[in-house]
Amino acid sequence: MQKIIPLLLICFFLYIERIYASGRTIHHHFPKVILISLDGFRYDYFDSAEKRSVNMSAFEKIKNQGVYIRRIQNEFPTLTFPSHFSMATGLHPESHGIVDNVFYDPTNNATFSSRNQSTASDSRFYDVGAEPIWVTNQFHGHKSGVTFWIGSEAKIKGQRPTHYLAPYNENITFNQRIDILMGWFEHENINLGLMYYHQPDRAGHIYGEASDEVFKAIEEINHGLDYLLTSIENRPSLSCCLNLILASDHGMTNVSSDRVIYLHDYIDPNEYTSAPKNLGHTAQSLYDKLKDKHFRLNVYLKEELPTRLFYDSSDRVGPVVVYADIGWTIIADRNSGVTLKNKGSHGYDPDYKDMSPFLMAMGPQISKNQTTELEETVRLIDIYSLICLILKLKPAPNNGSVCRIAPLVIHVSFFSRSYIYCIIIFIPFYTIPYDTL
């Protein structure tokens, strides 16, 4: 009897703990995630918005209730299609294959272009081994919903998102996209939603990085986020378990017509517009003619690229890689009639701060106040691992790091907490004789 009483007490307290915990932690068993990407939202736009007295109340709410990484490291090239597929797969562009917004694929003898709908949704360009997060999620028996994310129209590993919206239509507003996602969460039982939005990138290209139009677009996004937060709060079945991740793909910088490099000033166009399969024979010649010809032009043989760019292992990357210093633009021919109309651009070396995106998140599984110590440590490719960690998915092979992203996630275990109760309860009671109780 001396041993039975303490054991009964242990069982009783564990039962009470389980009842107490069940009301608080059921969402830990069924977490959900929304990932929203704001194209071209530079990391320091928050500081500039504050100086301009732009309404950022929804952004602030997310920051204050969750985590905010002011500046994260993104991928080369800092372009929309490569960056978004890196977010979705956790892979460098050299590994997932979307190496640019426009590139030649020697395996399929075909050219990919982000502006060509037929190629932008062609599985041949995406299904080369990379596994987007919606595919990983569905391989675990779950459902995904995607609005306009790069690669979502293509069948990858035999899968498309359970629900998806395509082709891209910028006339579908931010709030309408939220309504579509909320409908999928509420009525179709998805546990993962991805949403792409084209602002403030569009305004940044047309009007420049710090234009009034950029911050007008940001304020409109803030209204949309407020609508999202209200939509979540009004749905108790979601507010208890839905985690919001907000990120951008790259930054933005100003360009001008007096900072242009004309390639044909240095090379004959026939040397690089010939059949791509013959480029290898002229690679050294192209390199020699371009190297050190312009002080703002970076020229590399592919195998000599800086390793930090992770850009030399794909056959979709040409044998000679040329890119400009930040703020400069490469145009083929000064006599072509092509003029620089945009005031903002990106695609430059990710080490330039102006190319940097941000990351913030909030929700039941998200930590709080993890900011300064993670700045510039977390990478864009870690977002895939973050989602896997929250949704308890086994990730596909990727270039991200769980260690870098783990501090953003709360780890709650019923058994570890119960074990502590066992120790606390068992020690004092087990040694007390029955007749003294």
For residue 171, report the phi and psi dihedrals to the nearest 5 degrees: -75, -15
Q: Where are the alpha helices (DSSP H) in 234-366?
A: 236-239, 270-273, 279-290
- How many angstroms separate the CA atoms of 337 and 340, rounded? 10
CA distance 401 to 383: 9
Instruction: Please confirm, yes or no, whether 80 is among the known catalytic residues.
Output: yes
- Catalytic residue (one of 25, 78, 80, 431): 80
Contact between 156 and 129 under an 8 Å Cβ cutoff? The reply is: no
**Range list of β-strands (E), 225-350:** 242-247, 253-254, 260-262, 297-301, 320-324, 329-331, 344-345
Q: Measured between alpha carbons, how far is 61 from 225 in angstroms, rounded to an integer?
A: 10
> CA-to-CA distance for 184 and 163, rounded, in angstroms?
8
Rg (CA), the chain: 26
Q: How far apart are CA 251 and CA 41, in angstroms?
A: 6
> What is the rounded distance in angstroms from the CA atom of residue 216 to the CA atom of residue 427?
63
For 357-388, b/e burial (b = at least 16 CB within 10 A) is bbbbbbbbbbeeebeeebbebbbbbbbbbbbb
Q: Across the beta sheet with 192-197, what order do the strands follow?
A: 67-69, 359-362, 242-247, 32-38, 192-197, 144-147, 163-165
Task: Find out whether 210 and 354 touch, Cβ atoms under 8 Å.
Answer: no
With a CB cutoff of 8 Å and minimum separation 6, the contacts of 89 are: 95, 96, 130, 131, 132, 133, 381, 384, 396, 398
Half-sphere exposure of 273 (CA within 13 A, CB side): 7
Cis status, amide bond into 200, omega within 30 of 0: yes
Question: What is the sign of the dihedral through the CA atoms of 307, 311, 315 and 317?
Answer: negative
- The catalytic site residues sit at 80
